[in-house]
Amino acid sequence: MQQPVVRVVCAIGQSGQLGLNGGLPWEGNRSPEFVADVARFFDITRGHVLLAGPKTIASIPAFARGDRELVVLRSHMDPEDTLKRFAGRIAFIGGGPPVWDAYARFVSHWDVTRLPYDGPADRWFNPSWLTKGGEVTR
């Protein structure tokens, strides 16, 4: 196998909100849906490779750093060559948006939770990521 299985697990607000001021827009919300979403992210990615931009990797809490392989993606890295390093494994592409712009074409499974948040954001989900790499026009 030349490439890993490439997956994404992310959470968005009702309008596609992804991030705000370097964190999650709903940061600090202790309602069950929000707490469960973060727990689910760490459950699903446990034991696998999590590749993401520098800010997203920096936001991974200490408790989650020991039981998954974290890889910082930089814009000078070639996506295909980078993914080849993890052939045979499950690689989660953790964002943020410029990273998904570059890696979406390799993703076989998007797991998007739509949370009950509809406030401000400065990072947004782009639905065109879901079809990136397809070439047929309607």
Residues that bind ligand NAP (CB under 6 A): 10-11, 18-19, 22-24, 52-56, 59, 73-75, 77, 79, 94-99, 102, 123
- Give 88 or 100: the residue with its C-beta nearer to ligand NAP: 100
Q: In the complex, what is the shortest distance from the CB of residue 121 to ligand NAP, in angstroms, rounded to a whole number? A: 8
Q: Where are the alpha helices (DSSP H) in the chain?
A: 32-45, 54-58, 79-84, 97-103
Q: Per DSSP, what are the bridge partners of residue 92?
A: 7, 50
Q: In the complex, what is the shortest distance from the CB of residue 123 to ligand NAP, in angstroms, rounded to a whole number? A: 4
Q: In the complex, what is the shortest distance from the CB of residue 114 to ligand NAP, in angstroms, rounded to a whole number? A: 11
- Give 66 or 83: the residue with its C-beta nearer to ligand NAP: 83
Rounded to whole angstroms, the maximal C-alpha distance in the chain is 47
Residue owning tokens 């790499």: 133
- Give 22 or 119: the residue with its C-beta nearer to ligand NAP: 22
| 15 SS3 class | coil
Half-sphere exposure of 33 (CA within 13 A, CB side): 9
